[in-house]
Structure 1
Amino acid sequence: MKRVSVDIGGTFTDCFVAWENRYVESKALTTHHNLALGFNEALKNACAELQLDERQLLSQVDSVRYATTLGTNALIERKGPRLGLLTTAGFRSSVPLARAKGYGVGLPHKQQMDVPNAQRPDPIVPIPMILDVRERVDYDGDVVLGLDEDDLRDKMRQLVDKGAEVICVVFANSVVNPVHELRVREIFLEEYPGHLLGAVPILLSHQVAGRKGEYVRAMSTIMDGFLHQVMYHGLGTLELNLRGAGYDKPMLVNHNSGGMAQLNSTDALQTVHSGPVSGIAASEHLALQAELGNIVATDMGGTSFDIGIVVEGGVKHYDFNPVIERWMVSVPMVHLVTLGAGGGSICRYDRMFKTIQVGPESAGSDPGPACYDRGGMNPTVTDADLLLGYLDPKNYANGYIPLNPRRAKQAYEDLCDELDMELVEVAKLVKQTVDTNMANGIARELRTRGYEPHNFTTLAYGGNGPLHACGIARALGVKTILAPPFASVFSACGAGNMSQLHIHEMSTWTTLFDANQRRFFTDYPRFNRIVEELERRGREDLVRQGFADDEIGYRLELDMRYGNQRVETAVVTDLNRVSSPEDVLKLIEQFHTRYGERFGKGSQTPEAGVRINTIRVCSFVQHPGITFKGIKPNGHALPAPAPVGERVCHFVGHDQGITTPIYDEAALAAGTTIDGPAIVVTRATTYLIEPGWRYQAAAQNAVWFTQIN
């Protein structure tokens, strides 16, 4: 297998190259103005280790896979085209009202509670650019009011005259019957053909999101339209860069659904948060192959700290109405919690509590932490780690970024004055605060879902994960934590392990058991027609990308609920068709079991009736991936190699600095055991073994940290 996988983060661009039996990891600073430059630098570093030139490598790999933050950055900076929205008459205020919750969505709980100071985010579509059209389809797909085509042409003309660069069409209940949305596209192309108006995209909501919920479906379509140009130009530039370097195969883009596809089969909305989701995918593969059971995946990079959960058996948690930036959308996305706790997180004085506040703002890659000596003036977590002695100023990121301790000290001067504390004590407070914040985030995420941290194996990866692993574990109250193989570029590694996958879904009103009439579902042909249609869409996506029918697999998922409960539970079933009462009973039993697992045995209420609200089909093609093996300690401890140096480090809970031995990559040999305090510095990352902790290296550079007192 020869493959290049890339995770373009807010601070670093991570590159993972699988070259036959060799695995190479490398990093470069992310170049936000042109992502290709950062990718080229990271690939160049990897090629140097393989003793190949870039053209030689790219001409032989089977694929290049990208996970990117393009969409996230565009939303934050509001860089996008002017949008126009056409909606059903009477629904013009749905988007501005935002279900009356728009002021708080996407904000921390503390800010959501501060209603008097609440401010809605700047709208992606200005209110004057939202126009309604006379038409109406009811909940069952019947046309109540036909499309007024004269009214439609007038509204189109108004939007074009106002400078709309993208047209979004969101009609009520179009997911059940899209006839009017499809007719809008026909009329738009009649009125404004490409040679007259230029390439103005028109997006139909039923093709972007297949579930009911007018507001979230509208926001999905709006955000997809807003990100379209940024993604097209940004990823298009990356693809042209590959073409120029000798790569002649389609470029693959990772999706936040846990799959990937070619660029021409990727919606812009699917790329948001695709980098962290790739790390969760890698965690899933690791857990299955190494038999780790339940795991919580934590990715501490330069900008953020991302948390994901995979329970035993490889079952991931999905968000079906995730919040992206400040808006709720309607696309299936692997569940992810993001905290502002990366290496570049900026530290401030909290005047109310007279202590340190870490994040959520980040120094990013430009200018970066003050110690990068690139113009950054704010104190960050990385500056604190340097001041505490954990980082080598001359050998950070394999010497790629020389660090300036004097700049770090200057950045912390104001904090020292405000706290009236010595520099080292402030740095230790920052370390303790950020570790506690991350541990609290993990505990809150697990316990709100009914889990306990001690029943999970915690993975600490990302550029800063191994550096803070012991601190996170101590604050979390667990005695073992794992830095997985290729920890510093683990998300990039996960990008290389994903399968090509497309998810299609459709809202439905299917009652499996009618409690009022005591009747079971019998309209099997209607249910099967929906499944067949969703399979057809997925098959077309994958066939268009060059796969044969017999290579494609399908997975059926159903969103089910008891009676009129608002809570829906996703059920994965091995049934692809329903043809008998036994099949219906099997679906009900699977839902009954899944509901009990989620909410507790005995909480099921089948007497209220059982309904299916959404039918979802995942169409996929499996690809060979990285094999994880020998991750658990083998019980054969090797003595630590000779240290390559030592320096004084400062640790939380210790008043005085401690002379700490420094080890190099020789300490990654499987079986190597080191008791803290100690530091292991590799080309990719730094492993910090705090006092009272033991370091045990396993295969593929995996490292276990175990508390010994």
Structure 2
Amino acid sequence: MKLIGVDIGGTFTDLILADVAQQQSWIHKVPTTVEDPSVGMIQGIQTLCQMAQADYAEIAHVLHGTTIATNTLLTHDGARTGMVTTEGYRDIVHIGRHQRPHHYSIMQDIPWQTRPLVKRRDRKTVPERLDPKGEVLTPLDEEAAKTAILELKAAGVESIAICFLNSYFDAKHEDRVAAIAQELYPEAFITTSASIFPQFREFERFTTACINAFVGPKVKRYIHNLSRSLAEQSVQADLHIMRSNGGVATAEVAGEQPVTLLLSGLAAGVLGGAAAGKDHRDRLITFDMGGTSTDIGIVTEQGFAEATARDTWIAGYPVMVPMIDIHTIGAGGGSIAYVDEGGAFRVGPCSAGAEPGPVCYAKGGTEVTVTDANVVLNRLDPEYFLGGEMDIYPDRAFAAVQALADQMGLDLYETAAGILTIVNNNMANAIRSRTIQKGQDPRQFSLVAQGGAGPLHAAEIALSLGIPEVIIPRYPGITSAMGLLTTDLKHDLIQNEFILSTSPHLEKLNADLQTLETQVTGQLRSDGFSDEEMTLQRFADCRYVGQGYELRSQIPSGTISEAALQGVWQQFHDLHTAEYGHAFPENPVELVTLRVTGTGPMPKLSGLPILAEGTVEDAWLKTAVTYFRMDGKLERYDTDFYERDRLPAGGQLEGPAVIFQKDSTILLLPQSLATVEPNGNLLIQLTQNSLSDRRLAMEAAV
């Protein structure tokens, strides 16, 4: 059986083909075709199959991480969307919660008002009303619903979100209007809020449904066209799409629920990093630096962190679907260095991307980028860049950085080093925001460096944070693609459940859990999994009475007794202490949401990669001068260059060194030690001397 994982980023498309039976893999990397990302993907699959001498018919599964939904929302380039809602609630998605992103700014940019997903003229209301318990107060006016749908059709909307008050208790009115819409306007993409997020908080629920409708047509067309392109190449494999929750979905489910794909590729990166660093290490920071952005995830003994309701915002909109907690900043190899209007030296968040790219690509780029700075400091070599398959032009990078240096009155190499210092500090601060600011000590973690640019910057970032070791996966530049081959198919279902710790209703709780489990197992059966293959997990979103947001406790399997429920309450108190530093065990707790997650196992690549035999000296390429800031001063170092594919298991290298491989470049700082582990990882250990030197360098830079 052969599997293909494909992650499409803003700059490059990363691919891996794995032969599960033979435990072999082949990797490939191509520039992303921005106009139609599937073009580059198909070309990459063709090349991969040629490399592996594999027939298309041998491919069983294609697993895909995509940014199509994310980019559609970020660029606000979605479908013209209509909305049908309860009479009197037309402006819920505009009013929101009167939140101000910047409390003291007179120039507020409130996305749901300045860039509405559904314009007011396309928001229609109909008489209907359920009370907070799901009882009908006002029957649905079906004639008014038909009129609303026909008006939206005449207006030219492509997608319709149906959002009724209190539909999370009973979706019968939403379902009926959806049926009317399918009858009167079958071409439209239809979304009901209860099918996407059946929970209270109508602003967040309505907005999430509108996002699904807004990005839906574009995502559905993309998946359809991709499936057709694969079929035209005689690839009959099952297509699965990565979701934000860390699992994959069938192409059909992904096409109907595209809002669950907003962190598709990012989630795969966290999974890939976690898989790469799992041997003997339970606490990991995944650091995925690509050409456009950097994604940071946290993995602990309990697994990867899941975003809480208060953190699930993308492009300024609340997104209430399960997702891994990932922090993204605009820092990558293509980040542009410039002097702003106030004379400050800055790097990012704007990026040169794949087109025109850094100046050294000679594709029309004129602005200095992080990649150009690495070229000037001789950390990237034109002979070995992307395995020698892509040309870069150092003379162009030198000229561009020199022009920027002249503008600031600085030395060429100081300017290049300054670019890296700024971008590294930006990324280190992002890691602090996910660790120190959440009560975690980064010094107790290992940093997993991934992405095409991650291994080039990871050691300096780790030093600034006091992290003692850096793990470089075997294929860091395609870790997200590899992460796709470590995941399973996953479904999440939720239901509101208001239960107080002082008066629990165990009979109703157990009945509702059973209902959710039955629904999840039914979905997994339809995906082709047997009951023996399935894994179910149960969770409760809890809070103290009077609080506005919840923390998630795990519910044990089986029938819930009073003792088991007491364990859920105690787990909540412990989580509250870990998150906020205190708890109120004497206060009543309310359980507001039940969750059941069902998992079906997918085929995976496991086992050790085939490593080279021989000695470290066999991997040596040359010695050249590179530049490092040590003891607060930028100095020249004679640096050994190596080829990673020829490094043997157990081999050790002392820094400074540069290690090349097809998908990335690895930098070893002076006074650091790298060891090739049996699983193919490269473990970089940072000494106390190098930590001290880095602190001096940071102080000198300030």
Q: What is the TM-score with the length of structure 2 in the denominator?
A: 0.92
Question: What are the equivalent positions in structure 2 for 1:94-133 lying under 5 Å apart?
Answer: 94-101=92-99, 104=101, 112=102, 115-121=105-111, 122-133=115-126
Per-residue CA distance 1:19-71 (angstroms, 9 max, x = gap): 22212222111112222221133334433442x15xx0x31122110001111
Q: 1:280 aligned to 2:270? A: yes
Q: Which residue of 1 aligns with 2:505?
A: 522
Q: Which of 281, 296, 312 is the aligned partner of 2:301?
A: 312
Q: Which residue of 2 aligns with 1:549?
A: 531
Aligned partner letter, 2:228:
L
Q: Which residue of 1 aligns with 2:31?
A: 29
Q: Which residue of 2 aligns with 1:240?
A: 228
Question: What are the equivalent positions in structure 2 for 1:359-398 lying under 5 Å apart?
Answer: 359-398=348-387
Q: Which range moved further: 320-329 or 381-390?
A: 320-329
Q: Which range moved further: 265-274 or 547-556?
A: 547-556
Alpha-carbon contact 1:27-1:684 (below 8 Å) kept: yes
Q: Which residue of 2 aligns with 1:263?
A: 251
Q: Which of 124, 128, 135 is the aligned partner of 1:135?
A: 128
Q: Which residue of 1 aligns with 2:700?
A: none
Per-residue CA distance 1:607-661 (angstroms, 9 max, x = gap): 3212111111101112343336699xxxx99654463223221222443433322
Q: CA deviation at 1:339?
A: 0.9
Equivalent position SS for 2:387: coil
Alpha-carbon contact 1:223-1:269 (below 8 Å) kept: yes
Q: Which range moved further: 235-244 or 311-320?
A: 311-320
Q: CA deviation at 1:137?
A: 1.3
- Distance in 2, Cα, partners of 1:642 & 1:2: 30
Alpha-carbon contact 1:216-1:330 (below 8 Å) kept: yes
Q: CA deviation at 1:351?
A: 4.3
Q: Which residue of 2 aligns with 1:43?
A: 45
Q: Which residue of 2 aligns with 1:509?
A: 498
Q: Which residue of 2 aligns with 1:491?
A: 480
In 2 relative to 1, CA 40–188 (structure 1 residues): closer, same or farther, beyond 3 Å? closer
How many residue pairs were aligned?
677
- Distance in 2, Cα, partners of 1:487 & 1:368: 21
Per-residue CA distance 1:462-516 (angstroms, 9 max, x = gap): 11111112111122222321112321111111111101001111222122x23xx
Q: CA deviation at 1:553?
A: 2.1
In 2 relative to 1, CA 650–90 (structure 1 residues): closer, same or farther, beyond 3 Å? same
Aligned partner letter, 2:318:
M
Q: Which residue of 1 aligns with 2:332?
A: 342
Alpha-carbon contact 2:309-2:549 (below 8 Å) kept: no
Per-residue CA distance 1:90-121 (angstroms, 9 max, x = gap): 221111123223x63xxxxxxx3562122233
Q: Which range moved further: 158-167 or 327-336?
A: 158-167
Q: CA deviation at 1:560?
A: 0.7
In 2 relative to 1, CA 378–459 (structure 1 residues): closer, same or farther, beyond 3 Å? same
In 2 relative to 1, CA 350–61 (structure 1 residues): closer, same or farther, beyond 3 Å? same
Q: Which residue of 2 aligns with 1:210?
A: 198
Q: Which residue of 1 aligns with 2:598?
A: 619
Question: What are the equivalent positions in structure 2 for 1:458-469 lying under 5 Å apart?
Answer: 458-469=447-458
Alpha-carbon contact 1:466-1:688 (below 8 Å) kept: yes
Q: Which residue of 1 aligns with 2:426?
A: 437
Q: Which residue of 2 aligns with 1:166?
A: 159
Q: Which residue of 1 aligns with 2:10?
A: 10
Aligned partner letter, 2:455:
P
Q: CA deviation at 1:581?
A: 2.6
Q: Which of 552, 560, 582 is the aligned partner of 2:563?
A: 582
In 2 relative to 1, CA 228–416 (structure 1 residues): closer, same or farther, beyond 3 Å? same
Q: Which residue of 2 aligns with 1:702?
A: 681
Q: Which residue of 1 aligns with 2:627?
A: 650
Alpha-carbon contact 1:641-1:666 (below 8 Å) kept: no
Q: Which residue of 2 aligns with 1:592?
A: 573
- Distance in 2, Cα, partners of 1:687 & 1:229: 41
- Distance in 2, Cα, partners of 1:259 & 1:249: 18
Q: Which runs of 5+ in 1 are unaligned?
A: 105-111, 515-519
- Distance in 2, Cα, partners of 1:118 & 1:594: 35
Q: Which residue of 1 aligns with 2:210?
A: 222
Alpha-carbon contact 1:637-1:671 (below 8 Å) kept: no
Q: Which range moved further: 387-396 or 580-589?
A: 580-589
- Distance in 2, Cα, partners of 1:666 & 1:298: 22
Equivalent position SS for 1:318: coil
Alpha-carbon contact 2:539-2:554 (below 8 Å) kept: yes
- Distance in 2, Cα, partners of 1:187 & 1:667: 64
Q: CA deviation at 1:392?
A: 1.1
Q: CA deviation at 1:667?
A: 5.1
- Distance in 1, Cα, partners of 2:645 & 2:77: 47
Per-residue CA distance 1:345-398 (angstroms, 9 max, x = gap): 11121443x442111111111222121111122211111111111111132111
- Distance in 2, Cα, partners of 1:158 & 1:683: 55
In 2 relative to 1, CA 374–700 (structure 1 residues): closer, same or farther, beyond 3 Å? farther
Alpha-carbon contact 2:297-2:304 (below 8 Å) kept: no
Alpha-carbon contact 2:42-2:230 (below 8 Å) kept: no
Question: What are the equivalent positions in structure 2 for 1:595-614 lying under 5 Å apart?
Answer: 595-600=576-581, 603-614=582-593
Aligned partner letter, 1:645:
K
Equivalent position SS for 2:238: coil
Alpha-carbon contact 1:677-1:689 (below 8 Å) kept: yes
Q: 1:416 aligned to 2:443? A: no
Q: Which runs of 5+ in 2 are unaligned?
A: 690-702
- Distance in 1, Cα, partners of 2:432 & 2:607: 27
Aligned partner letter, 2:359:
A
- Distance in 1, Cα, partners of 2:678 & 2:339: 43
Alpha-carbon contact 1:454-1:478 (below 8 Å) kept: yes
Alpha-carbon contact 1:486-1:700 (below 8 Å) kept: no
Q: What is the TM-score with the length of structure 1 in the denominator?
A: 0.91
In 2 relative to 1, CA 581–706 (structure 1 residues): closer, same or farther, beyond 3 Å? closer
Equivalent position SS for 1:650: strand
- Distance in 1, Cα, partners of 2:600 & 2:36: 31
Aligned partner letter, 2:262:
V
- Distance in 2, Cα, partners of 1:540 & 1:238: 27
Alpha-carbon contact 2:444-2:467 (below 8 Å) kept: no
Per-residue CA distance 1:262-299 (angstroms, 9 max, x = gap): 101121111112112112122333444x1202111110
Aligned partner letter, 1:590:
Q
Q: CA deviation at 1:157?
A: 2.9
Per-residue CA distance 1:382-417 (angstroms, 9 max, x = gap): 111111111111321112220012332343354223
Q: Which residue of 2 aligns with 1:109?
A: none
Q: Which of 79, 82, 104 is the aligned partner of 2:80?
A: 82
Aligned partner letter, 2:336:
I
Q: Which residue of 2 aligns with 1:107?
A: none
- Distance in 1, Cα, partners of 2:607 & 2:302: 16
Q: Which range moved further: 290-299 or 151-160?
A: 151-160
- Distance in 2, Cα, partners of 1:113 & 1:285: 41
Aligned partner letter, 1:584:
L
Equivalent position SS for 1:589: helix
Q: Which residue of 2 aligns with 1:250?
A: 238
Q: CA deviation at 1:233?
A: 1.6
Per-residue CA distance 1:150-187 (angstroms, 9 max, x = gap): 33333333322222211111111101111211221233
In 2 relative to 1, CA 575–548 (structure 1 residues): closer, same or farther, beyond 3 Å? closer
Q: CA deviation at 1:83?
A: 0.6
Aligned partner letter, 1:491:
S
Q: 1:565 aligned to 2:532? A: no
In 2 relative to 1, CA 665–240 (structure 1 residues): closer, same or farther, beyond 3 Å? same
In 2 relative to 1, CA 327–606 (structure 1 residues): closer, same or farther, beyond 3 Å? same
- Distance in 2, Cα, partners of 1:123 & 1:157: 22
Equivalent position SS for 2:634: coil
* Identity among equivalent pairs (%): 29
Per-residue CA distance 1:436-457 (angstroms, 9 max, x = gap): 1111211221012111011111
